[in-house]
Amino acid sequence: MRAFLMAGLFLLAAGPAAGEKVFRYGMADLPVSRGNPYTMYQPSGTMIWSAIFDALTVLGERGAIEPALATSWEMETPTQWRFNLRRGVTFSNDELFDADAVVATFAWLATPAGRTTQVGAEFANVAGVDAVDSGTVAFRLTRPDAIFPRRVSIAAIVAPRAWSRLGPEGFADAPAGTGAFQAAHWPRDGGRAELVAHRDAWQPPRLDRVAVVRSADSNARLQALLSGQLDLIESLPFDDIETVTARGLKITSSPVSQVMALALISHQRPDSPLADARVRRALNHAIDRAAISAALTAGLTRPAGQGATPLLSGYNPEVTPYTYDPAKARMLLADAGYPNGFEMAAEIVGGGFMSGDVAIYTRAVADLAAVGVKAELRTTTLASYTERMLAGRFEGVDAFGLSWNGAPYNDALSGIIRYSCRSPSVFHCDPAIEPLIEAADTAPDMATRDQHLRALAATMHDAAPSIFLVEQADVVGHVANLINVRRRNRNLIFDQLDFTAAR
């Protein structure tokens, strides 16, 4: 792995022009669909696609919705939204961005092929898109959607003639967007990619080239950073922070719209201890979240008591984490009929799925043991975990690692649905909260929606369908002379990146 990484970097870094600024970027994975931004919506894709494409809106550094290719928008009726577009913008292949480009993008997402993509599925509520004039589009919806301006932030606008001429597969090899960079080299093996500056972009970059290298091995990425082969690496483990800073390098951390948790399986298991809300609350009181944050995440995470983080619409600041109170945990267990505790099995993805996750789960299990709950922590592969989740097969386990996730558009409802009767793989079901979910989902405006979501946050806290752990954080390591390392919705803001000296 390391030999491949170094060889790939040598090829990418060969022959830079004098004074050229080349940014060498190490990632755990690259998108399998290369330059096609619709097939799946996941960090391995969006981290690169955000350099090439823009959407109508973008989620800002603190989670708020901000203008991108649209400068403003308004809800004309509960089922119609109007977006005013940015003028004078061109795609990297010199096509003009206008209302027709927006209409073409959403027309393809509405086709049978488009609907099968993860992005296209998010717009099943769109009845049609009309070009009012060259700088204005109107979306017609089948039902109210208060978060529609957030929703469109995941739909990259592609150069329409290139997409029509090349088709999704051909476009994946030669993507054209309005972003700060354009793809110069993207081989189908997915091992590396090269981007070059799109100098006519509406937000032109300060760098000349971006060299992206895939390495699934976090230690290989770390060694490449320490040896000067990479300028920035994603997903730096918390326990490597000291190694990085001791070498004069820097770390940058940013909050994530994700709450780390152990999901507790209670659905259709009346004889399980976890079917009793008192037991689930007891398990939450058994966890020393402050110690986990300080000892295992370098204080870069915060204790969590709800499924939302401050980045999400629907976050309730009045809902605080469960107190660390082992005595109260034992009392609740005794009240529920388990004075001596019980045994359970918890399954997580092995090898580390997020920074520090295995260590955090291990510490949580130790805290449970201190109140008499013996939890066996089992690891599985990501493929097996995904298969279990898709099929809703939870035989042999009582809990599993599952983050409350506000992705892809920083809204708390998506995480709540995963912990409800509506989940594709139901493991906790409380019919009493279904009307609250429906009220939030069909709210006519954001204020009403947020009100419902804040109420749901309090309800879910008390129901404790999971052991809430910590609000996650992204950590990157980078060279000291790389500046403006900022993130929006987990993605680097590529047009702001710069070096204090030429590379």
Token representation of residue 357: 């996750």
Superfamily of domain 256-473, CATH level 4: Dipeptide-binding Protein; Domain 3 (3.10.105.10)
Give me the CATH code for the 1-45+179-231+479-503 domain, please: 3.40.190.10
Q: Helices 277-285 and 446-463 sit at what angle, rounded to 10 degrees?
A: 90
Q: Where are the domains of the chain?
A: 1-45+179-231+479-503, 54-163, 256-473
For the chain, the first-to-last Cα distance in angstroms comes to 26
Distance CA 306, CA 464 (A): 9
> Is the distance from CB of 442 to CB of 144 less than 8 angstroms?
yes
Task: Region of 54 please: left (phi>0), alpha (psi -120 to 50) or beta.
Answer: beta
pLDDT of residue 14: 47
Helix H segments across 69-136?
99-109, 112-115, 118-121
pLDDT of residue 5: 40
Nearby residues of 395 by Cβ (< 8 Å), 6 or more positions away: none
Distance CA 262, CA 466 (A): 5
Distance CA 23, CA 475 (A): 18
For residue 467, list its beta bridge partners. 262
Distance CA 200, CA 94 (A): 9
**pLDDT beneath 50, residues of the chain:** 1-14, 503
Q: Name the residue type at position 351.
A: G
Q: Name the residue type at position 221.
A: R
Domain 54-163 falls under CATH 3.90.76.10: yes
> Is the distance from CB of 146 to CB of 411 less than 8 angstroms?
no
Helix H segments across 340-495?
357-369, 382-391, 413-418, 434-441, 446-463
Please provide residue 302's backbone torsions phi and psi, each rounded to the nearest 5 degrees: -120, 145
Nearby residues of 242 by Cβ (< 8 Å), 6 or more positions away: none
pLDDT of residue 354: 67
Residue 368, H or E segment: helix 357-369
pLDDT of residue 90: 97
pTM comes to 0.85
* Residues, the chain: 503
| E runs forming strands in 186-341 | 192-197, 209-214, 232-233, 250-264, 302-303
Token representation of residue 400: 């599993």
Distance CA 337, CA 447 (A): 42
Per the listing, tokens 């070059």 go with 196
